Structure 1
Amino acid sequence: MSTIAKAASLAALLACAATIANATEGGTSVYPNGTENYMAGALPPPGLYGMVFGNHYEATQVNDGSGNNLNIPGFKVQADVVAGRLAWVPGTKVLGGDLVAHVIVPVVNLSVNVPGTSQSKSGVGDITTGLGLGYHHSPNLHSVVAVDFFLPTGAYNKTDLANIGKNHFALEPVYAVSYIDPNGFNGDLKFGYIFNSKNDATDYTSGNEFHFDYAAGWGVGNGWTLGVGGYYYQQVTEDSTSGVNNGKGSAMAIGPSVKYDSGKGWFGTLKVENEMNVKNRAQGSSVWLKLVFPL
């Protein structure tokens, strides 16, 4: 997933470029920015659903706090991620909404290159689980409110260059909304605000983070929707640790996005994102695939 794909511990780059202002430990986040696409806030009918997210991410530059490329020779982060998601809608009403529970398990293949060294890792990353409520305001307008929990299940070693886990818990309130028209405008927003706990291995607590994924397109018939998608990210509070010059990370991304709805209960989305206006983080591009199907 995009941020998991960026889960190379960029803190190691401090040894290569002391001018980097880290902005969240390792310059990464527990949430995979840009994951969501069309249908982000539309809860399906009661039942059990499978989802598969596929992501390829690649970055060859790291930017400082002013958004300037630090020009680190040979720097490269590349990751391929397949994440399975299981969502259960039991048909239970709570506060007027439909209850939903979910879990996401990512499998990551990650490689990191910096001047003089490189490292690769593969394995299960940090698992996400959560509870939410879905609302259907009209045939076209839908929303979800939820709380997600990020669990430190991915492999982590503070001396490693590449880490596929963050080694700390995090909590995220979420709000997502979708407007769906098979023959007209389609719009989606998924907002989140992340509260990070301390990484006990490094005594480092990353700052709070605000982000949203978005998609906007037009239904052209026969199940197809064409448009754009991406994300916006802004670190809100400073990190907490001693002896480190911390800045606040920020980034955004945009690119073409397409959805196909089979009309038989399953649909898929595909998008390409290019990051821009990136500060205190790696800058790269992603290809995202999402498939949703009833079980």
Structure 2
Amino acid sequence: MSQFKSVVLAATLAVATTATAKEGADQYPNGAEGFMAGALPPPGTYFLNYAGYYSGDRYDSNGDKVKGVSVEAWFDAPRIVHVTQQQFLGASYGFAALLPIVRQEISTPGGDELVTGIGDMSITPVLLGWHWPEFHMIAALDIFAPTGTYDKNNPARSIGANYWTFEPVLAFTYLNKQGWEASTKLMYSLRTENDATNYRSGNEFHMDYTLARHVGSWAFGLGGYYVKQVEEDELNGTRLRDSEGQVFAFGPQVKYDYKNMSFIGKWHHETEVENRFGGDKLWFKFVLAF
């Protein structure tokens, strides 16, 4: 069962605590995709559910831990993907949508803030998949809408980012006859301004990756993600120095296919963190083909 360009999961992110940090949550849940990330499945309807837990501490622009600032979050995000019978440029065409639910607790020296609510919806109006004997490719466009819980006066009580993001995607999978797989998904986030604060977080490159071995119904591998903000943030049109965030994550992952279902488990440990929360993320993903 293949995986897809995914979704919003505001829980796994950094909430901005200073003027020199990306504002709001990561609208894409970095690390959500892995096994067969570049292989669109056959025509049909698919239900995917991403659930997990994240715990981390805040890091500044020097990569030093910010004392007393941490986050803990549980999340669940159902997604529907439909692949049509239509072809475009030789590719199968599909579309998708996802809406996450998050329980998030931010701890600061001033106290704790607990919030439960919905995150920013992800809509994928364009999802194209090409297939060759040992190589697969996906091109897509994700649109993240500001549907999430948001509090202008208290960022720690915000799950959504309160701005639109447009994200082109390219994903690739190589799987040979011996069962060795290499997959990656490349994304570039084009962010708009938050009208409530006149703050625009800088555009960002990020990627998920997986190296794995398939043995029968099982697959085992190493995966994770890399995030690099490539532009400085802006406040009222003025760029903020040293505001770019980054993180690299890695960890084991396993998948089991049974009939029309897939079960995926992952652990990702974050390192090289700047201007973000950094910690550990546990995932459980379920895929059902109708």
Q: Which residue of 2 aligns with 1:180?
A: 175
State yes or no: 1:156 paired with 2:161: no
CA shift, 1:178, in A, is 1.6
Which consecutive residues of structure 2, in runs of 5 or more, have no partner in the other structure?
Answer: 1-6
Q: Which residue of 1 aligns with 2:43?
A: 46
2:61 touches 2:242 (CA, 8 Å); kept in 1? no
Q: Which residue of 2 aligns with 1:4?
A: 10
Q: Which amino acid aligns with 1:210?
A: F
Identity %: 36
Q: Which amino acid aligns with 2:257?
A: D
2:50 touches 2:76 (CA, 8 Å); kept in 1? yes
Q: Map 1:239-250 onto structure 2 (within 5 A).
A: 239-242=233-236, 244-250=240-246
State yes or no: 1:93 paired with 2:91: no
The structure 2 residue matched to 1:25, chosen from 2, 23, 26, is 23
Deviations, residues 51-105 of structure 1 (Å, cap 9, x unaligned):
011121001x2222121223x12x2211111101100111100111000100011
TM-score normalised by structure 2 residue count: 0.91
1:8 touches 1:110 (CA, 8 Å); kept in 2? no
Query: How far apart are the structure 2 equivalents of 1:43 and 1:87?
Result: 10
Q: Which residue of 2 aligns with 1:17?
A: none
Aligned to 1:84, what secondary structure does the other structure show? Answer: strand
Aligned to 1:5, what secondary structure does the other structure show? Answer: helix
Q: Which amino acid aligns with 1:76?
A: S
Which consecutive residues of structure 1, in runs of 5 or more, have no partner in the other structure?
Answer: 15-19
Q: RMSD value over aligned CA atoms?
A: 1.8
Q: Which amino acid aligns with 1:37?
A: G
State yes or no: 1:226 paired with 2:220: yes
Q: Which residue of 2 aligns with 1:34?
A: 31
Query: How far apart are the structure 1 equivalents of 2:42 and 2:137?
Result: 13
Query: How far apart are the structure 1 equivalents of 2:177 and 2:167?
Result: 31
2:14 touches 2:276 (CA, 8 Å); kept in 1? no
CA spacing shift, 1:57–1:182, aligned 2, 3 Å: farther
Q: Which amino acid aligns with 1:30?
A: Q
The structure 2 residue matched to 1:112, chosen from 95, 106, 111, is 106
Query: How far apart are the structure 2 equivalents of 1:38 and 1:178?
Result: 8
Query: How far apart are the structure 1 equivalents of 2:77 and 2:173?
Result: 22
CA spacing shift, 1:136–1:271, aligned 2, 3 Å: same
Relative to its length, the structure with more strand (as a share) is 2
In terms of mean alpha carbon deviation, does 118-127 or 193-202 score higher? 118-127
Q: Which amino acid aligns with 1:235?
A: Q
Q: Which residue of 1 aligns with 2:269?
A: 274
The structure 1 residue matched to 2:117, chosen from 123, 126, 138, is 123
In terms of mean alpha carbon deviation, does 111-120 or 236-245 score higher? 236-245
Query: How far apart are the structure 2 equivalents of 1:207 and 1:8?
Result: 14
Deviations, residues 169-199 of structure 1 (Å, cap 9, x unaligned):
0000001112235852112101100000010
Q: Which residue of 2 aligns with 1:238?
A: 232
State how many pairs are aligned.
280
